[in-house]
Amino acid sequence: MTDISAAEASDDLDEPVERVPWEVPEIATVTVLVATGVLMAGGLAAGIVASTPSYGGGTPLRITASTAISFGATWAGPLLAIVLLGVVGLCWWQADAWCAGSETGEKRDDVNEAAGHVRRAHRISQWTQVELLLVCAGAVALVASSALLSTGGISANAVDWARIIVEVANLVAALAVAGVGVWIGRKVPVNRESSN
């Protein structure tokens, strides 16, 4: 067993993460983040297309705006937030496992690999937290879209109220899941020493 001083270990932590091979949980989490990004970009593109005036016009502005917002944020909701919660939980688990698993029989290569995986898990966790916040913003946009569509106020019909109630419930659920996701994300270690 090789004894490594703290100075040598901290020097090893400065090596680039790219030299560390990717593991299945890391590939899975990045795939989910990319897929979520594609959904968000597609929604944005759909919202922009829906906001352009149709040839001949005649559609009231509030209906056009509501439709554009609805198309743009159709992906936002608690189910996507739950998937991202799973991603941030997997990041925490991966980082914790690498921190705990490398403490016995440490070799220089093991320290480098563990530090690289912990940093990568932390970075993926940060991007996941950003996407969780974007899901919340999209859920807020859906509430705004429903409110724009039903301008009857208190005298709005039951369908208008039902639409708003569903979107508010989706927003509250997305906020709850995102809040827990950000809390877990803050517990993902930045490096091996921060978990000890």
String of DSSP letters for 53-106:
PPTT----HHHHHHHHHHHHTTT-SHHHHHHHHHHHHHHHHHHHHHHHHTSSS-
The half-sphere exposure of 80 on its side-chain side, counting CA atoms within 13 A, is: 27
CATH classification of the domain holding 55: 1.20.58
Mean predicted confidence (pLDDT) in 69-90: 93
Q: Give the domain range for residue 75.
A: 18-195
Residue 4 lies in a domain: no
Residue 132 lies in a domain: yes
Q: pLDDT-based confidence at 101, cuts 50/70/90?
A: low
Sign of CA pseudo-dihedral 127, 118, 12, 112 = negative
Structure tokens, 88: 């941030």
Residue 21 has pLDDT above 90, yes or no: no
Q: pLDDT-based confidence at 151, cuts 50/70/90?
A: low
Residues with Cβ within 8 Å of 69's Cβ and at least 6 positions away in sequence, in order, are: 47, 141, 142, 144, 145, 148
d(Cα 171, Cα 167) in Å, to the nearest integer?
Answer: 6
Radius of gyration of the chain (CA): 23
Mean predicted confidence (pLDDT) in 175-185: 96
Backbone angles phi, psi at 82, to 5 degrees: -65, -40
Structure tokens, 50: 């829906």
Cα–Cα–Cα angle for 51, 79, 73, rounded to 5 degrees: 10
Residue 179 has pLDDT above 70, yes or no: yes
Residue 58 lies in a domain: yes
Mean predicted confidence (pLDDT) in 113-142: 93
Residue 153 has pLDDT above 60, yes or no: no
Task: Give residue 185's pLDDT.
Answer: 93
Residue 193 has pLDDT above 80, yes or no: no
Instruction: Give exposure, 70-106, as e/b (b: 16+ Cβ within 10 Å).
Output: bbbbbbbbbebbbbbbebbbbbbebbbbbbeebeeeb
d(Cα 188, Cα 93) in Å, to the nearest integer?
Answer: 8
Residue 177 lies in a domain: yes
**Number of domains composing the chain:** 1
